[in-house]
């Protein structure tokens, strides 16, 4: 694999101490096996490694080649990086001789370097090629997708993934513009959306929801999250902890529902002759829901929408 240079873009890791604290690395757990499912620029991984014992292992995952290049600079025999989605966790860990792990951290969304690098096409704030792929070695770019997708599918993606009430108007405008010229830059797309969206919340750019929707779709973020949560649970040892940081309501809703389904069990009719030992048992215990402090948000406004949920896999839970 070719090692790429890492551009100099600043990244502030959201809920850094809180997320690593949630994994409970004290005592004998310090020599366990852990997963950072979204390495990014390595803020969480580096802090985890600083608290782990000499016999511990940490496996990181990321789809972004620049994140992989950053990870390869960590000279620590306890650490390994996997160039793939955390949705492949179970098979990827098995390839490395790992069956179960003691803790898993997922920090969802995109990193500041991805947003700030105009060449990646994630942001409308600076003009750049309309790519939006986290893994530029796979899949189609946003520009390629916009060039061929039907108006109906464009509308559905923008509405469902962006929660955009002007999805119909935006999709119609995209189809009209691409009939005249290719839509290949972020500034072009932002302009099209601005022309189609007549009103917007104060302080929010008209293109925000559309760019979010296309990015989520292009990178299969919700599909990866659905698969990844199940994979993570399957890999988590009894007594192990899972912490997930999300940045928009679609992600957080999925995490909330997944944890709730594992923590809450339907109780049978009390009139039925069922022994206590045969009653359904919860598989996880909900430990925390946390948001960044006011001080963190002041220092890093991008942390404002973050929500972290933490759950414990209970002993005796089904595999």
In this structure, of 43-57, 92-106, 232-246, 277-291, the range with the lowest mean pLDDT score is 277-291
pLDDT in tens, 114-164: 888 899 999 988 899 999 999 999 999 999 999 999 999 999 999 999 999
Torsion of CA 244, 98, 33, 62, to 10 degrees: -40
Q: How confident is the model at residue 318 (pLDDT cuts 50, 70, 90)?
A: low
The fold of 136-218 is DNA polymerase; domain 1 (1.10.150)
At the second CATH level, the architecture of 16-112+221-313 is 3-Layer(aba) Sandwich (3.40)
Residue extents of the structural domains in the chain: 16-112+221-313, 136-218
**Sheet harboring 236-246: ordered strands across?**
79-83, 57-62, 33-36, 101-107, 236-246, 307-313, 284-290
Give the model's pLDDT for residue 156: 98
DSSP bridge pairs for 84: 62
Mean pLDDT of 192-208: 86
179 contact partners, CB below 8 Å, separation of at least 6: none
Which sign does the torsion angle of CA 224, 229, 235, 240 carry? positive
Q: Is the fold of 16-112+221-313 the same as that of 136-218? A: no
Tell me how far apart the alpha carbons of residues 34 and 101 are, in angstroms, rounded to a whole number.
Answer: 6
Give the model's pLDDT for residue 257: 97
Please answer whether residues 111 and 40 qualify as being in contact, where contact means their C-beta atoms are separated by less than 8 angstroms.
Answer: yes
Is residue 277's pLDDT more than 60? no
Annotated binding site: 42-44, 62, 86, 107, 114
Is residue 315's pLDDT more than 70? yes
Residue bearing tokens 């990178």: 219
C-alpha distances (whole Å) from 123 to each of 2, 24, 127, 256 are 26, 36, 8, 28
Mean pLDDT of 157-186: 97
pLDDT in tens, 10-51: 567 999 999 999 999 999 999 999 999 999 999 999 999 999
Give the model's pLDDT for residue 216: 96
Please answer whether residues 107 and 67 qualify as being in contact, where contact means their C-beta atoms are separated by less than 8 angstroms.
Answer: no
Give the model's pLDDT for residue 3: 41
Annotated binding site for S-adenosyl-L-methionine: 42-44, 62, 86, 107, 114
Cα angle 58, 77, 46; round to 5: 50
Q: How confident is the model at residue 67 (pLDDT cuts 50, 70, 90)?
A: very high
Is residue 205's pLDDT more than 70? yes
């Amino acid at each position: 694999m070719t090692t790429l240079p890492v551009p100099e873009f600043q990244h502030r890791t959201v809920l850094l101490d809180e997320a690593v604290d949630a994994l409970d690395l004290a005592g004998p757990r310090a020599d366990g096996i852990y997963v950072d499912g979204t390495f990014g620029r390595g803020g969480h991984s580096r802090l985890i490694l600083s608290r782990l014992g000499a016999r511990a292992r940490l496996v990181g995952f990321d789809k972004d080649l620049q994140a992989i290049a950053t990870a390869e600079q960590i000279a620590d025999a306890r650490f390994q990086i996997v160039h793939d989605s955390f949705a492949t966790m179970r098979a990827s860990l098995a390839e490395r001789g790992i069956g179960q792990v003691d803790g898993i951290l997922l920090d969802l969304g995109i990193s500041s370097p991805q947003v700030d690098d105009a060449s990646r096409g994630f942001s409308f704030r600076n003009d750049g090629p309309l790519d939006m792929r986290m893994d530029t070695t796979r899949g189609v770019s946003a520009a390629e997708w916009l060039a061929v997708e039907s108006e109906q599918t464009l509308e559905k993606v923008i509405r469902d993934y962006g929660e955009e009430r002007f999805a119909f108007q935006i999709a119609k405008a995209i189809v009209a513009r691409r009939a005249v010229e290719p839509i290949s830059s972020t500034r072009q797309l932002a302009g099209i959306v601005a022309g189609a969206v007549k009103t917007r919340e104060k302080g929010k750019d008209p293109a925000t929801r559309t760019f979010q929707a296309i990015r989520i779709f292009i990178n299969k973020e919700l599909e990866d999250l659905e698969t990844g949560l199940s994979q993570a649970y399957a890999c988590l040892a009894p007594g192990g902890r899972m912490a997930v940081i999300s940045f928009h309501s679609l992600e957080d809703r999925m995490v909330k529902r997944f944890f709730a389904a594992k923590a809450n069990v339907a109780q049978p009719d009390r009139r039925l002759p069922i022994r206590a030992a045969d009653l359904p048992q919860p598989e996880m215990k909900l430990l925390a829901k946390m948001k960044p402090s006011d001080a963190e948000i002041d220092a890093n406004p991008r942390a404002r929408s973050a929500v972290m949920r933490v759950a414990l896999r209970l002993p005796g839970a089904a595999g």
